[in-house]
Chain A
Amino acid sequence: MIEPAPILYTKDLAVGYKRKKSDDFILLNHLNLSVEGGELICLLGQNGFGKSTLLRTLTGVQKPIKGDFFINGKSINSYERSQLAKVLSIVLTENLSIGEVSVYSVVSMGRYPHNNWLGILSGNDRKIIDNVLEITGLTSHKEKIFTELSDGFKQKVMIARALAQDTSIILLDEPTAFLDIPTRIEILSMLRSLIKQFNKSIIFSSHDLDLALQTADIIWLITKDQKIEVDCPEDLVLNGHFEKAFNKKGIKFHPQRGIFKMNKVADTKIQVKGSKIDVIWTERALERIGISTDGNEKADGSIQIEKKDGRLIWNLDLNSQPVLFYSIADLIKYLKNR
């Protein structure tokens, strides 16, 4: 089998800021990344490690410090702006206030790289726009004024516009920032379905670890030594790269759950027993107030959760003093004030 040619690849790319007087400020170095068709790639990394800089460089706004990258086999340096607009589109987090412009009009701007000097929409353009509005679930909103929409809808409109631009690569800078959790999930699953439908390559940066782990095919993980680890999310968890990239004082990656937890020094250990779901949520509450629940170690006490007459009861046995609670709230209050 022949390897498919990558849509985008970087060759010993270094990104950062050029400086006149001192040495260039390099954020990421020796990058050899490649993007194939139909991948949802999430760029993850701590703040200030070069996420935005890399994205800006890949959009061609910022010049690479060293190295080069190629889209469809052609170096970025040999692209005219107007040509690049046909292969690469972007979605930013800027809060746009653009006056009385309808959703349809914003999406139709995506066709500008393809139409004539006055930007007049052809029948084909209109067909593409209608289709894009349908896919993104915006058809019923197309007459609405963009500025008056919620953040989530605005983000969808900008994604729809990028789709109308009909490029093989879409770059999104923090597409889920400032959104509530259900909308985040909605946006990311929308991106997933786009990959499937159009065989596009989508690269998005994110802070949202657990969502990124759930949705991305591939994660570009910025490590602490100016490099990027590329792997499928699960591999990155298992080989410990994830933990290395993010661990900070007071925060610890929890590989079982794929989330980060506050790493408080526990002074008490309590073992929780009962049905699985009850145990999980009770443990979460205990961990929040700094009580360890690691079962294997020698515990200072135990909690037995039972169901009696359709009610949950927490039987706490701490320092051989049995106490009974009817809610987690009461239990926590007691443990805090003890």
Chain B
Amino acid sequence: MLTPQRKKIIAVFLFLLLGLSFFFDIILGAVRIPLGDALNILTGSSSGNSVWITIITEFRIPKAITAILAGSALSVSGLLMQTFFRNPLADPFVLGISSGASFGVALVILTAGSIGINLFFLNGLLNKIGITIAAGLGAAVILLLITFVSRKVSSNITLLIFGLMLGYIIGALESMLKYFSSPENLQGYVIWGMGNFGNVIWSDLFLLIPIILFGLVVAFLLSKPLNLLLLGENYAVSMGVNIKVIRLLIIVAVGILGGVITAFCGPIAFIGIAVPHITKKMLNEFDHKILIPAVCIVGSILALLCDIISQLIWHEQTIPINVVTSLVGAPVVIWIIIQQRKVKHSLAVE
């Protein structure tokens, strides 16, 4: 058990780290901008290089904000899934929500120009709103399916397996689309699939911020039933949790947080599964009313750091964010599996 004193120190440290990584995510990038000029642009006191101003205000700041939103959203939905399924390896995408979103995107990108779905294209360029709508629809369809099934089956394990299988089916359909699509379209889809925080511009953020905030607030309101769910559904119900309502709300929150981020940034791997574990280990905490804000901060830091690394690792080139998140997140998952004893217990079917 950590003393409140130490928890405060950790909190201060995390906020500092968040501020720093936000700052460096804006300062650093493929285009080198001297620190002094960058600071001047940030404080609005410079009338210098207009290209640099554009890069920072129109590209890097929205990208950093998107990283924070994505980090928070994915981590919180990962936390909700892990508690809900009482499975340390569950994350938002196990339910197939991101597969649904991906499939929507695949439909748009991969069939571009071939069967006349030019509705989503402007001058032959992909329109982001088109992708978002497609991803949102894809996620929504899967969400509805999962919700429907969750009313029928009482066991979380069954639901989890259902989600996994759904993911495979969608994956197969997606492969088929890929197989028949043109090389250019395939390339576009593959690049989207590698993830990117940089596709989001200010006008997108006005949509993204309220949606993600709504999802996070719903999650926070569920803190108390989530704590009770740690003891399993039976105990939770015996202590007054209306499991059907709570289950629906958890699925809605995860669907919003996971689905929308996937639409805007591509399927970002491992943040959802890794951050809750890192946070729990660091704070030694189980209480969701503390964990939810905490995973938001840790998730934001991790997303920002991964974004910084993706800018710096290759000279004057940005490598895909999924490469970095996988390199960081996969070891965490391996670490979880190595802690066999606990995993075995948590996966034990009652």
Interface residues of A (CB under 8 A from B): 59, 61, 81-86, 88-90, 92, 94-102, 105-106, 109-110, 112-113, 117-119, 143, 147, 165
Contact = CB atoms under 8 A, between A and B. Distances in A.
B348 A119 contact: no
A94 B238 contact: no
A119 B234 contact: no
Interface in B298-346: 342, 345-346
Contacts of A85: 238-240
Given A106-B231, A118-B289, A165 B239 contact: yes
Contacts of B221: 117
Contact of A88 (B232, B234, B238): B238
A contact face: mostly helix, strand, loop, or mixed = loop
7 tightest CB-CB pairs across the interface, nearest first?
A: A85-B240, A97-B345, A82-B240, A119-B224, A113-B240, A90-B238, A101-B286
Given A109-B228, A110-B239, A112-B228, 18 more contacts: A59-B238, A61-B237, A61-B238, A85-B238, A85-B239, A86-B240, A95-B345, A98-B230, A99-B342, A101-B286, A105-B287, A106-B231, A109-B227, A109-B239, A112-B224, A112-B240, A118-B224, A143-B1
A81 to B, nearest CB: 5
B219 to A, nearest CB: 13
B234 A94 contact: yes
A97 B239 contact: no
A159 to B, nearest CB: 13
Contacts of B346: 97
Contact of A81 (B242, B287, B350): B242
Contacts of B284: 100
B235 interface: yes
Interface in B125-152: none
A102 B234 contact: no
B199 interface: no
A128 B286 CA distance: 21
A214 B14 CA distance: 58
Given A94-B350, A118-B289, A143-B1, A84 B240 contact: yes
B230 A113 contact: no
Contacts of B57: none
A293 to B, nearest CB: 45
B348 A97 contact: yes
A101 B234 contact: no
A102 B238 CA distance: 20
Contacts of B345: 95, 97, 147
B223 interface: yes
B247 interface: no
A99 B280 contact: yes
A266 B238 CA distance: 51
29 contacts: A61-B234, A61-B237, A81-B240, A81-B242, A85-B239, A85-B240, A86-B240, A92-B232, A92-B234, A94-B235, A95-B345, A97-B345, A98-B286, A100-B285, A101-B230, A105-B286, A105-B287, A109-B227, A109-B228, A110-B239, A112-B227, A112-B228, A112-B240, A118-B289, A119-B224, A119-B227, A119-B289, A143-B1, A147-B342
A89 B231 contact: no
B241 interface: yes
Interface in B74-117: none
Interface string B212-229: 000000000101100110
Contacts of A147: 342, 345
